[in-house]
Amino acid sequence: SPARTALAPRETAARRKGKARRGRGKARNESLLSKQKRSRRMKANDRERNRMHHLNSALDALRSVLPTFPDDAKLTKIETLRFAHNYIWALTQSLRLA
């Protein structure tokens, strides 16, 4: 068919390119890929570390505005969020009643 003959040169060129890539440079490409993977992993780790740093800073700021009875006891993350939720709810209720 005419469509097959039009695609045939492209297919053979693609196959030749694939074969050329599988030649001697395979070990070099593998080492390059491992370096890229390591670099990506390090960048992802940095992003995650920064994300957690910002999250912890935000939770510390939230803890500083919440009224707690024992000032020396640090609330956990989930305790901080639950307490903030309940505190906001209580303030809202007191405003509704006022």
Average pLDDT over residues 27-54: 94
Tell me what pLDDT residue 20 has.
53
Tell me what pLDDT residue 56 has.
97
Q: What CATH number should be reported for the domain whose range is 26-97?
A: 4.10.280
In tens, the pLDDT along 30-41 reads 899 999 999 999
Asked whether the beta carbons of 77 and 65 are under 8 A apart, the reply is no
- pTM strictly above 0.75: no
Average pLDDT over residues 20-44: 82
* Position 28 confidence tier, pLDDT thresholds 50, 70, 90: confident
Whether pLDDT at 98 is above 70:
yes
- Annotated domain spans of the chain: 26-97
Cα–Cα distances (Å) from 94 to 30, 40, 56, 89, 97, in that order, read: 65, 51, 30, 9, 5
